[in-house]
Amino acid sequence: MVLSAVAQPSSQPGSRMSRQQQPQQHHHHHYQQQQQSQPQSRTPLKVTDNVVEVKSKFEAEYRRFALKRNGPGGFKEFYHLLQTIHHIPGVDVILGYADVHGDLLPINNDDNFHKAVSSATPLLRIIISKKDDEPVVFGTNSLQRRKKGLGLTGLRPTGSGSTHSKNKPGLMIGMPQNFRQISSIIDVDILPETHRRVRLHKHGTHKPLGFYIRDGVSVRVTPQGVEKVPGVFISRLVRGGLAESTGLLAVNDEILEVNGIDVAGKSLDQVTDMMVANSHNLIVTVKPANQRNNVMHRGSKYSIGNSGSVGSAGSSGSALSHDSPSPASQSNPITASNSIAEGDSDEEDDDGDLILENDCLTPYEPQQVNNGNSTNLNRDSPNTRPPHATAVRPLPQSISLPNSVGASLTDGSMATSRFSDDTASNSPESMREDGNIITL
């Protein structure tokens, strides 16, 4: 699961953005409709202050009506009113409204209904979705992407929160910015079971990478027998460092590759320099010293149905990855998620250089550099989104409100499995085969 730490600046252009906009073009004609209707109706209603203009939307249809600001009634009445207006009596629906910050918030009781009416300025936008449709995501800034697609003005230009990844019908269990990917195990399908490829994300964390390496002797089994060759090993983990906190690296793990490059024959200093040079996005392939943790249950986990996003073994360059959200969730089924081709990561630091042109130059302050760092992060974060996922799966046009968090959880997993069907080209069977064959 990817939860980006920081919102994208809405003005940020770029190829990645345009990819995301693609599916939203479905909305375009709605937007035009809206634009046309708005000015006509809004002008007379604005005169009276005790009336709230309501615009409700169900599927592709809009209705406009007014509500008394002082006595709008209760939630139940409103619910029935909407069913009547939209001619959908008996259809179970979920109601949501857009608040001043552009966030989509639920209406499911009198309190939040009254809040919605009182905070409407001047228009109360209601979004109605069928209950058995896909779960809708509520939360801070959840309308952000819609807003951009629709070109609505009047909502807050940039959000302080995080953009929620759209392919992740989500569990809203906390503020998204509290989550940040710091590490992942990748390429499990193409690596031998005895090896582990770990990605450490230095971005957005102030934790040190926090490990040391040393020279050592590696024992290899060859047709000629056991052979001793020089190798590089993890010698120490810094307490509280990124490496330690992931739980994926341990002392005496042998370093086999750094960002896809074999370290055999390289000196300790060379390997050190390679790692430091890649420190912003370090991918190390290790042979864990403790081989008991990584064999069987890993394979079984993947066959549970999360396997959809794993790429074909042949194309290692664009191999997909399994990212674990946090160290704690290691025992949970790993959510299918984004993949980043190794070559792709090259692009990251292109944007990463902080360039100050003369109009924005200020006297040199070292703190500035830190700011710059977080700016880099912002620009890089869209990168962590899978390029193909958005294209494959368009943003749902209708949004449904889950009744509870529990319900959304089940919906979430449903969505995931459907997602894997969409990417049928990477068939789960072949993937499983790959995994098993390689682990032998």
Partner 1 sequence: MKRFRRHGHESQRDRLKQELYQFNKTLEHGFPHQPSALGYSPSLKLLAIGNRSGAIKLYGDPGVEFMGLHDENAAVTQVHFLPHQDLLGKTNQSTLIYWINKVSIFQTKKKKTIYLPLSAPPSVTRVTAVLAHSSGELLLLGTEGGHVFIVEVPGFRELEERNISLEQVANGVPDDYIGRRNLEHVEALQENPVNPNQVIIGYGRGLMVIWDLEKQCALQHIPATQQLESVWWIDDGSYVLSSHSDGSYCRWMVGEEDLNDEEEKSDIPYGHFPCKAISKIIQLPTEEGPPFLLFSGGMPRASYGDRHCITVIHGKKHIALDFTSRIIDFFVIREGPRHTGDPSALVVLVEEELVVIDLQTEGWPVIQTPYLVPLHSSAITCSHHVSAIPLKLWERILAAGELQNTHYSKKPWPITGGTNMAPDPPQRDLLLTGHEDGTVCFWDASGVCLYPMYKLSTAGVFHTDSDPNDNLNQSSEGEWPPFRKVGCFDPYSDDPRLGVQKIHLCKYSGYLTVAGTAGQILVLELNDEAAEQTVEAKVVDLLQGQEGFRWKGHTRLDVRDEPVMFPPGFQPFALVQCQPPAVVTALTLHSEWKLVAFGTSHGFGLYDYQQKNNVLVKCTLNPSDQLAMEGPLSRVKSIKKSLRQSFRRIRRSRVSLRKHHVNNAQIQDANARLEAELAEMELAPVQRKIEARSSDDSFTGLVRTLYFADTFLSDSSHNSPSLWAGTNGGCVFAYMLRVPTVEHRAEEPITAHQAKEIQLMHRAPVVGIVVLDGHGAPLPEPLEVAHDLARSPEMQGSHHLLVISEEQFKVFTLPKVSAKMKLKLTAVDGSRVRRVGVAWFGSSRSEDYGESGLVVLTNQGDVHVVSLPTVKMQVHYPCIRREDVSGIASCVFTKHGQGFYLISPSEFERFSLSTRFVVEPRCLVEVPHSGTTKQNRSLRVMEHALLNDESEYS
Which string of b and e fits 31-48 if b means at least 16 CB within 10 Å?
Answer: eeebeeeeeeeeeeeeee
372 binds partner 1 (CB under 8 A): yes
CA–CA distance, 243 with 229 (Å, rounded to integer): 26
Nearest to partner 1 of 54, 198 (CB atom): 198
Nearest to partner 1 of 94, 242 (CB atom): 242
CB of 249 to partner 1, least distance (A): 10
276 binds partner 1 (CB under 8 A): yes
Q: Sort residue 120 into left (φ over 0), alpha (ψ -120 to 50) or beta.
A: beta
Question: Position 213: which residue type?
Answer: I
Phi, psi of 312, deg, nearest 5: -75, 145
Nearest to partner 1 of 94, 186 (CB atom): 186
CB of 372 to partner 1, least distance (A): 6
Q: Sort residue 256 into left (φ over 0), alpha (ψ -120 to 50) or beta.
A: alpha
299 binds partner 1 (CB under 8 A): no
CB of 308 to partner 1, least distance (A): 32
CA–CA distance, 88 with 79 (Å, rounded to integer): 11
283 binds partner 1 (CB under 8 A): no
Nearest to partner 1 of 78, 211 (CB atom): 211
CB of 13 to partner 1, least distance (A): 13
CA–CA distance, 439 with 251 (Å, rounded to integer): 23
For 25, which DSSP code?
G
CB of 258 to partner 1, least distance (A): 8
Contacting residue, 221, 304, 361, 440, with partner 1 by CB under 8 A: 361
Nearest to partner 1 of 186, 258 (CB atom): 258
352 binds partner 1 (CB under 8 A): yes
65 binds partner 1 (CB under 8 A): no
CB of 238 to partner 1, least distance (A): 8
246 binds partner 1 (CB under 8 A): no
Angle at 51 between CA 50 and CA 52, to 5 degrees: 125
Judged by CB under 8 A, the stretch of 7-15, 136-144, 204-212, 424-432 that binds partner 1 is 204-212
273 binds partner 1 (CB under 8 A): yes
38 binds partner 1 (CB under 8 A): no
Judged by CB under 8 A, the stretch of 52-60, 66-74, 213-221, 428-436 that binds partner 1 is 213-221
CA–CA distance, 373 with 377 (Å, rounded to integer): 6
308 binds partner 1 (CB under 8 A): no
CA–CA distance, 407 with 415 (Å, rounded to integer): 12
Burial label for 438, CB within 10 Å (0-12, 13-18, 19+), is middle
CB of 210 to partner 1, least distance (A): 7
210 binds partner 1 (CB under 8 A): yes
Site mask, partner 1, residues 253-272, x = CB under 8 A?
Answer: -----xx-x-x--xxxxxxx
CB of 345 to partner 1, least distance (A): 10
Contact yes or no for 197/187 (Cβ under 8 A): yes
CB of 177 to partner 1, least distance (A): 22
Strands 104-107 and 93-98: antiparallel
CA–CA distance, 111 with 97 (Å, rounded to integer): 13
By CB under 8 A, the count of residues binding partner 1 is 50
CA–CA distance, 322 with 306 (Å, rounded to integer): 9
Contact yes or no for 383/348 (Cβ under 8 A): yes
> How far is C-alpha 261 from the geometric centre of its chain's CA atoms?
28
Nearest to partner 1 of 278, 408 (CB atom): 278
Phi, psi of 388, deg, nearest 5: -90, -25
Contacting residue, 40, 49, 223, 350, with partner 1 by CB under 8 A: 350
Nearest to partner 1 of 60, 276 (CB atom): 276
CA–CA distance, 82 with 87 (Å, rounded to integer): 8
CA–CA distance, 135 with 408 (Å, rounded to integer): 6
Contacting residue, 27, 115, 236, 298, with partner 1 by CB under 8 A: 236
340 binds partner 1 (CB under 8 A): no
| Helices 296-303 and 428-439, packing angle to 10 deg | 170
225 binds partner 1 (CB under 8 A): no
212 binds partner 1 (CB under 8 A): yes
Nearest to partner 1 of 267, 291 (CB atom): 267
> Where does this chain bind partner 1 (CB under 8 A)?
202, 208-215, 235-236, 243, 258-259, 261, 263, 266-280, 282, 346, 349-358, 361, 364, 366, 369-370, 372, 376
